[in-house]
């Protein structure tokens, strides 16, 4: 587990507060942090090239997290654990003063607790959206209307038929034709038929 120092003078805790803080930190650590060990080990193994140092890194992360919890229990344990691990890896890489380019790029872009897409993903999504918009514009007006009502507005076939003033079968046919034409256009990469 985590080695704990009994020197709380630097933490500003009075002796009576010390046992309460230690008890809370112990319970929190066992409940919130230890179950994340497998994920932490996977993160460290993926992001550190010296495999022999992984166990020591894990212990250092645990020590930093625990010592911080003695001061104040973090609200988001998983995020705090992985941010601590990431910062430790950055510190170690800086100490080595030789940072492989792949390690630097991985550490800067890696944030396991974040769901925010990176710049490259945003650019790819915008490009895909432009291609889809161009493909939609190539459809006949009725097929385009059926596809937009179904796939973008989320309407049922019955609702599409009512909006378009056609039967459900006709609305289904417009939708099927539109989707097939979209798929065909996107598979060709937006190029005209040969």
Q: What is the pLDDT of residues 113-150, one digit of tens each?
A: 555 667 777 888 888 888 888 888 889 999 999 988 98
- Cα separation, 120 vs 92, whole angstroms: 27
**What pLDDT does 12 receive?**
46
Q: Find the mean pLDDT for residues 76-100.
A: 82
Six token digits for residue 23: 């008890």
For residues 70 and 29, give the distance between their C-alpha atoms in angstroms, rounded to a whole number: 10
Fold that domain 119-187 belongs to in CATH: Arc Repressor Mutant, subunit A (1.10.10)
Are the C-beta atoms of 65 and 24 separated by less than 8 Å?
no
CATH domain 9-109 topology: Rna Polymerase Sigma Factor; Chain: A (1.10.1740)
Query: Taking the domains of the chain in order of start, what are their residue ranges?
Result: 9-109, 119-187
pLDDT tens figures, 14-65: 444 677 878 888 888 889 988 989 888 988 888 888 888 889 999 999 999 9
């Amino acid at each position: 587990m985590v080695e704990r120092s009994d020197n709380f003078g630097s933490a500003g805790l009075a002796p009576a507060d010390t046992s309460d803080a230690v008890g809370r930190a112990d319970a929190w650590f066992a409940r919130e942090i230890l179950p994340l060990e497998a994920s932490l080990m996977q993160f460290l193994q993926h992001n550190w090239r010296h495999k022999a140092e992984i166990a020591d890194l894990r212990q250092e992360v645990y020590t930093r997290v625990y010592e911080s919890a003695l001061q104040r229990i973090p609200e988001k344990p998983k995020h705090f654990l992985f941010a601590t691990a990431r910062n430790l890896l950055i510190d170690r890489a800086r100490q080595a003063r030789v940072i492989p380019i792949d390690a630097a790029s991985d550490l800067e872009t890696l944030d396991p607790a974040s769901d925010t897409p990176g710049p490259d993903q945003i650019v790819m999504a915008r490009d895909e959206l432009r291609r889809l918009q161009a493909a939609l514009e190539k459809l006949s007006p009725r097929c385009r209307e059926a596809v937009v009502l179904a796939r973008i507005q989320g309407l049922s076939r019955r609702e599409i038929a009512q909006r378009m003033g056609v039967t459900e079968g006709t609305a289904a046919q417009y939708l099927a034709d539109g989707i097939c034409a979209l798929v065909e256009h996107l598979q060709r990469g937006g190029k005209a038929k040969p």
